[in-house]
Chain A
């Protein structure tokens, strides 16, 4: 996907009319051949080839999803978990969550947390990508390795390390702040929800930035150097070049990145859950995913499933919006 995007992204540039034409014609040639052959053969083979994927998807995603929806319409407690029959309660679970002000608190909290994280991830990722493009080979390799390590660290490990860094009693942050003369002796970073989410955001963004930076950097390497040079000679500053060349060229990539980051940050679980274990007030720091899990943890799997179904709904909605945008861009 990322290989095609930049090529298409360069299309609007006046400097590359040939590329554009040849790409278009290649595509039309391919599609016309497909139309002819596909129409004649018609056969079941293409569908047969799809079967393994569909079976895999069905087993891995479809079944749990169906089960989730079923449980969300049942009174499903600990006894049911251990085999008792689960009574059907229709939409009771949904009525209950939509009727509780706490659910809406959690929902808004999750959406805001997600929005802030996505914005920060994209901005920082872009800045780092620009930096990567300008650095010399040695420094670029160094930065790439650093980014790669941050990216490769499992979420659980990363969260625990960050949690130690911010530990109230033995954390290096408090130690440093105290040395600098601030009154942070034994300060608990997780106790206040706002500072809890500050730490959470730090972890989520830290882990999300590398992917964004690498992808954008890959995109930037596809932008013709001549165009950039010509623009520079014509007197365009760094910001102008970014706004008028890089941004339009990489817009499709940005769309994909924003969509993916949104999906990831909305269903963030590990970071929040582990931080809650370490400190803070659970009730004031639950996000959607954690809240769904905790409903199950407090013996009400039906309610937890209902919250999860709402979450899946929001995610699907966002995916649809994203897909629409992608198709629209392809049409242009």
Chain B
């Protein structure tokens, strides 16, 4: 079935190339190749002419890195055009569901590591098991390989990892006479103290914590000993309404209501703008947040000297467990050039490219590079935070929990002052319903 479709796609490719009036006989080589084999992909010849469409999400991959990848790939395949299209993380699941089964599908797409398994299970990605070694093999970070594997088959190539860190304003800390907190309780108190100290600034957040920032919320749940859901003999059981989780969520509510001015129903996508407005003391974000604040989209030069970062401390004085975010890349089953796409993936997982990730404060997917993470404060905080990472329930249905806005709704309600126990119970019911199919 799949092979047939690929063959059909390949044929369509041939026809398309012919229609373009290309006199070059080499033009159809790659298209022919792609149709012949789905298990093992052979590198197409260097003079292949084609266009590769790549979907990357959010601001996570800076433009310079995209240019770097393109120029490296151009050395190998000068006649291939790589078109990178940026997608929003918000609503990604809907968009992928809609476009991947069609002829409009991109050749390569990025998907959150929590969402990857849904697409692997659905057959949306090309099987890359035979090419694991070429893409990094055992050097790839285990947890991201796990996210990219379904039913012992490797589909999703790890792209980068990231744990959330705290980004803060050193000048405001100094003004309020605060030290970097060493426990979670101190962190909360510092947030409140900052808010009190800057009461003259409208909309000021000691800790910027919008209701929909569920990834940050998880740290507090895990730190208190709770969890989202646990698998008991193949059946998922909701844990958000357990005493431990509720305690964690109550801390979150305390921060949202007493140290925060971010809207209860917004997410953290535009927190850097509020930060640039001088309305934020601390925020919890991915490693590249500092770069976003000091970069062109943010406010270059404004806070560069007073920006600091640390890993969220735990209640016990250690590091709080942090959600291991990250991305996987897949080759769409509908791609007309899977072999070519594979070659591009090799560039994206190469050491040169992955080192760049380390430098902008993300976790490279190659273990051999993990020691390299030293760069700035953000990168150091990132490395510390990455010591204790946890993951969402490992289920192919998890993407639907995210798509269903369940944790976001819970966060919004809690931020608005709703009863934590009630909201947690409601979320439990929805999540378990989805995870158990």
List residues of A whose CB falls within 8 A of some B CB.
77-79, 81-84, 168-169, 185-186, 188, 190-191, 276-284, 293-294, 296-300
Query: Which of A277, A284, A297 counts the most B-chain CB atoms under 10 A from its CB?
Result: A297
Known: A78-B121, A190-B265, A277-B91. 20 other contacts (CB 8 A): A77-B122, A79-B121, A82-B100, A82-B101, A82-B122, A82-B123, A82-B124, A83-B1, A168-B266, A186-B203, A188-B265, A188-B266, A191-B263, A276-B405, A279-B265, A280-B265, A281-B409, A282-B408, A293-B94, A299-B118
Cβ of B343 within 8 Å of any chain A Cβ, yes or no, is no
A277: B residues at CB distance < 8 A: 90-91
- In the complex the two chains form, is A279's CB within 8 Å of B263's CB? yes
- In the complex the two chains form, is A79's CB within 8 Å of B123's CB? yes
A267 CB to nearest chain B CB (Å): 18
The distance in angstroms between the C-alpha atoms of A82 and B155, with both chains bound, is 15
- In the complex the two chains form, is A83's CB within 8 Å of B409's CB? no
B332 CB to nearest chain A CB (Å): 10
Interface size class of B (residues with CB under 8 A): 35 or more
Selected contact of B405 from candidates A169, A282, A293, CB within 8 Å? A282
- In the complex the two chains form, is A298's CB within 8 Å of B403's CB? yes
A188: B residues at CB distance < 8 A: 263-266
The distance in angstroms between the C-alpha atoms of A278 and B267, with both chains bound, is 9
Among all A-B residue pairs, the 4 with the closest Cβ atoms: A279-B265, A298-B400, A168-B263, A282-B405
The distance in angstroms between the C-alpha atoms of A60 and B140, with both chains bound, is 49
The distance in angstroms between the C-alpha atoms of A17 and B385, with both chains bound, is 88
Cβ of B29 within 8 Å of any chain A Cβ, yes or no, is no
- In the complex the two chains form, is A298's CB within 8 Å of B404's CB? yes
Known: A280-B412, A299-B400. A83 touches B263 (CB 8 A): no
A97 CB to nearest chain B CB (Å): 14
- In the complex the two chains form, is A283's CB within 8 Å of B121's CB? no
Name the residue of chain B whose CB is nearest to the CB of A167.
B263
Contact with A along B391-416 (1 / 0, CB 8 A): 00000010111011110110011001
The distance in angstroms between the C-alpha atoms of A83 and B124, with both chains bound, is 9
- In the complex the two chains form, is A298's CB within 8 Å of B101's CB? no
- In the complex the two chains form, is B118's CB within 8 Å of A78's CB? yes
- In the complex the two chains form, is A283's CB within 8 Å of B405's CB? yes
Ordered by A's residue number, 17 sampled pairs between the chains whose C-beta atoms are within 8 Å are A78-B122, A79-B123, A81-B101, A82-B100, A168-B266, A169-B274, A186-B203, A188-B263, A191-B263, A191-B265, A279-B265, A281-B409, A281-B413, A294-B403, A298-B400, A298-B401, A298-B434
The distance in angstroms between the C-alpha atoms of A310 and B202, with both chains bound, is 48
B404: A residues at CB distance < 8 A: 282, 294, 297-298
- In the complex the two chains form, is B403's CB within 8 Å of A83's CB? no
Name the residue of chain B whose CB is nearest to the CB of A283.
B409
- In the complex the two chains form, is B202's CB within 8 Å of A185's CB? yes
- In the complex the two chains form, is B405's CB within 8 Å of A81's CB? no
B154 CB to nearest chain A CB (Å): 18
B404 CB to nearest chain A CB (Å): 4
A58 CB to nearest chain B CB (Å): 22
B123: A residues at CB distance < 8 A: 79, 82-84
The distance in angstroms between the C-alpha atoms of A280 and B412, with both chains bound, is 7
- In the complex the two chains form, is B416's CB within 8 Å of A191's CB? yes
B401: A residues at CB distance < 8 A: 298
Name the residue of chain A whose CB is nearest to the CB of B408.
A282
A181 CB to nearest chain B CB (Å): 14
B434: A residues at CB distance < 8 A: 298-299
The distance in angstroms between the C-alpha atoms of A82 and B399, with both chains bound, is 16
B97: A residues at CB distance < 8 A: 78, 81, 296-297, 299
The distance in angstroms between the C-alpha atoms of A168 and B408, with both chains bound, is 17
Known: A81-B97, A82-B123, A282-B405. A185 touches B397 (CB 8 A): no
The distance in angstroms between the C-alpha atoms of A24 and B401, with both chains bound, is 63
Cβ of B261 within 8 Å of any chain A Cβ, yes or no, is yes
- In the complex the two chains form, is A191's CB within 8 Å of B412's CB? yes
A300: B residues at CB distance < 8 A: 400
- In the complex the two chains form, is B202's CB within 8 Å of A299's CB? no
The distance in angstroms between the C-alpha atoms of A298 and B405, with both chains bound, is 9
The distance in angstroms between the C-alpha atoms of A189 and B253, with both chains bound, is 20
Interface residues of B in 69-123 (CB under 8 A from A): 90-91, 93-94, 97, 100-101, 118-119, 121-123
A270 CB to nearest chain B CB (Å): 13
B199 CB to nearest chain A CB (Å): 12
Cβ of B245 within 8 Å of any chain A Cβ, yes or no, is no
B38 CB to nearest chain A CB (Å): 14
Name the residue of chain A whose CB is nearest to the CB of B121.
A79
The distance in angstroms between the C-alpha atoms of A14 and B416, with both chains bound, is 62
The distance in angstroms between the C-alpha atoms of A186 and B204, with both chains bound, is 10
The distance in angstroms between the C-alpha atoms of A280 and B90, with both chains bound, is 15
B429 CB to nearest chain A CB (Å): 11
A287 CB to nearest chain B CB (Å): 15
B408 CB to nearest chain A CB (Å): 7
The distance in angstroms between the C-alpha atoms of A281 and B266, with both chains bound, is 10
The distance in angstroms between the C-alpha atoms of A185 and B91, with both chains bound, is 29
A160 CB to nearest chain B CB (Å): 14
Known: A169-B263, A186-B203, A297-B97. A79 touches B122 (CB 8 A): yes
The distance in angstroms between the C-alpha atoms of A284 and B93, with both chains bound, is 21
Cβ of B333 within 8 Å of any chain A Cβ, yes or no, is yes
The distance in angstroms between the C-alpha atoms of A174 and B400, with both chains bound, is 35
- In the complex the two chains form, is A185's CB within 8 Å of B409's CB? no
B8 CB to nearest chain A CB (Å): 13
A79: B residues at CB distance < 8 A: 121-123
- In the complex the two chains form, is B93's CB within 8 Å of A297's CB? yes
- In the complex the two chains form, is A186's CB within 8 Å of B261's CB? yes
The distance in angstroms between the C-alpha atoms of A47 and B101, with both chains bound, is 39
A190: B residues at CB distance < 8 A: 265
Query: Which of A84, A186, A277 counts the most B-chain CB atoms under 10 A from its CB?
Result: A186
B345 CB to nearest chain A CB (Å): 20
The distance in angstroms between the C-alpha atoms of A62 and B276, with both chains bound, is 53
The distance in angstroms between the C-alpha atoms of A77 and B124, with both chains bound, is 13
The distance in angstroms between the C-alpha atoms of A299 and B401, with both chains bound, is 10
Query: Which of B90, B121, B265, B416 counts the most A-chain CB atoms under 10 A from its CB?
Result: B265
- In the complex the two chains form, is B265's CB within 8 Å of A281's CB? yes
B270 CB to nearest chain A CB (Å): 9
A281: B residues at CB distance < 8 A: 265, 409, 412-413
- In the complex the two chains form, is A299's CB within 8 Å of B403's CB? yes
The distance in angstroms between the C-alpha atoms of A293 and B95, with both chains bound, is 12
